[in-house]
Amino acid sequence: MLATAPSIDRLSLVPSTDHEILWALLRARPELVPGLLREALSVDVPAYTELRVESAELTEVVPTEYRADLMVLLVNGVPVLAIVVEVRLARKERKRFTGPLYAACVRARYECEAVVLVVTSESAVADWASRPILLGPGNVFRPFVLGPEAVPVVVDPARATEEPELAVLSVMAHGEGDVDRTVAIALAAAAGAEAIPDSERRVRCYDLVETGLSDAARKAFERLPKGYEFRSETVRTSIEKGRLEGRLEGRAEGRLDGQAEALAQGILRVILARGLSISEDRKRQILSCTDVEQLGRWLERAATAPSSEELFE
């Protein structure tokens, strides 16, 4: 499957608003758009061999210019589905008039089926945007809405490594919930970011993970010893060291070593953030482990285990 989109390094590294953060994530990884439609909203997305990011300028139908946030076109020899993405963080009644226009415009432009996908981090906005739009007698338009409740909860570091932007989106959607779960989600996202080869994309994901933490989760991190800072030089150095060793040896072991160290540090962070005690022997066992899958299982258990010893049962 071919995806063509602007490189993330063309985007500013630190978006200034939640709107820009969501836009940047989807723009950088447009493959998320059909994936979220299929997984989170149960949409029957047609088979396609190519994904294109097309112009979001929607001007053909009427002389007034309208611009969506993102336009993703799925192609299987010919266009099969046009997806207009709108990021909304507040209720704007005018959008209930322009949304149907977006769908009609791209349907006419590409002569294929078209949908509007509203993405929001606010539950109230998601409820509002989900209301059907009456175009006329017997004619109703319904956008698809991806609110925080619909975003998958990503706590598995393996999945976060495969889809790091989805893991960051999970932090943004669920970062205001239970602190223990938030920590687990954030650490999975950090592990996913660590595995990104491109340095600017990697730093962006790290920064967005921290941005998505709730005040309570952030305070939990602030109570940790200095060596466990969320954006610690220890973790970042281990990442770069692992990547360098991997390049020098001509294989991926170095990067895996860096990922294992980051996961091990993350497990200890969760244990300390939850106020659990852990013996020095268990610390050494965690820090010396190089099995990324085992570390991932320990990380998931660390978020809910009543005691640190139960991680190893």
What pLDDT is stored for residue 49 in this prediction?
95
Judgement on whether residues 129 and 170 belong to the same structural domain of the protein: no
What pLDDT is stored for residue 150 in this prediction?
92
Judgement on whether residues 298 and 162 belong to the same structural domain of the protein: yes
Residue whose pair of structure tokens reads 């939640």 in the numeric block: 18
Domain count of the fold of the chain? 2
Beta-sheet pairing, 2-4 with 78-87: unpaired
Judgement on whether residues 169 and 287 belong to the same structural domain of the protein: yes
Judgement on whether residues 178 and 282 belong to the same structural domain of the protein: yes
Task: Look at residues 284, 190, 288 and name the one whose alpha carbon lies nearest to residue 239.
Answer: 190
User: Containing domain of residue 279, as a range?
Assistant: 157-312
Task: Look at residues 273, 295, 278 and name the one whose alpha carbon lies nearest to residue 286.
Answer: 295
**Token representation of residue 196:** 């990104």
Judgement on whether residues 9 and 24 belong to the same structural domain of the protein: yes
C-alpha count within 13 angstroms, C-beta hemisphere, residue 303? 21
Task: Look at residues 221, 212, 219 and name the one whose alpha carbon lies nearest to residue 151.
Answer: 212
Residue whose pair of structure tokens reads 């979220």 in the numeric block: 36
Name the DSSP class of 137. T
Reported confidence tier of residue 218, pLDDT bands at 50, 70, 90 = low
Instruction: Give the residue from 121, 150, 179 where a domain finishes.
Output: 150
Task: Look at residues 105, 123, 122 and name the one whose alpha carbon lies nearest to residue 114.
Answer: 105
Name the DSSP class of 183. H
The amino acid that residue 210 corresponds to is E
Task: Yes or no: say if 149 and 169 are a contact pair by the CB < 8 Å rule.
Answer: no
Judgement on whether residues 14 and 130 belong to the same structural domain of the protein: yes
Judgement on whether residues 226 and 295 belong to the same structural domain of the protein: yes
Q: Which residue has the higher pLDDT, 58 or 144?
A: 144
The total number of residues shown for the chain amounts to 313
What's the pLDDT tens digit per position in 4-45? 443 333 333 334 466 777 877 888 889 999 999 999 999 999
Please give the average per-residue pLDDT across 213-237, as a whole number. Answer: 52
Judgement on whether residues 89 and 25 belong to the same structural domain of the protein: yes
Can you spell out the DSSP letters for 260-282?
A: HHHHHHHHHHHHHHTT----HHH
Judgement on whether residues 168 and 124 belong to the same structural domain of the protein: no
Judgement on whether residues 116 and 205 belong to the same structural domain of the protein: no
Q: Which residue has the higher pLDDT, 66 or 88?
A: 88
What's the pLDDT tens digit per position in 254-287? 445 566 777 787 788 778 767 788 888 888 898 8
C-alpha count within 13 angstroms, C-beta hemisphere, residue 50? 10
Tell me: pLDDT of 143 over 90: yes
Instruction: Give the residue from 128, 150, 172 where a domain finishes.
Output: 150
Judgement on whether residues 208 and 74 belong to the same structural domain of the protein: no
Report the mean per-residue pLDDT for the chain. 77
H/E run at residue 194: helix 179-194
Please give the average per-residue pLDDT across 68-93, as a whole number. Answer: 92
What pLDDT is stored for residue 235 in this prediction?
41
Instruction: Give the residue from 118, 135, 150 where a domain finishes.
Output: 150
What pLDDT is stored for residue 187 in this prediction?
80
Judgement on whether residues 122 and 15 belong to the same structural domain of the protein: yes
What's the pLDDT tens digit per position in 160-208? 888 988 998 998 888 887 777 787 788 888 878 877 888 778 888 877 8
**Token representation of residue 90:** 């507040």
Please give the average per-residue pLDDT across 145-173, as a whole number. Answer: 89
Cα 138 to Cα 269: distance, rounded to the nearest angstrom: 56
Tell me: pLDDT of 156 over 90: no
**Token representation of residue 21:** 């953060």
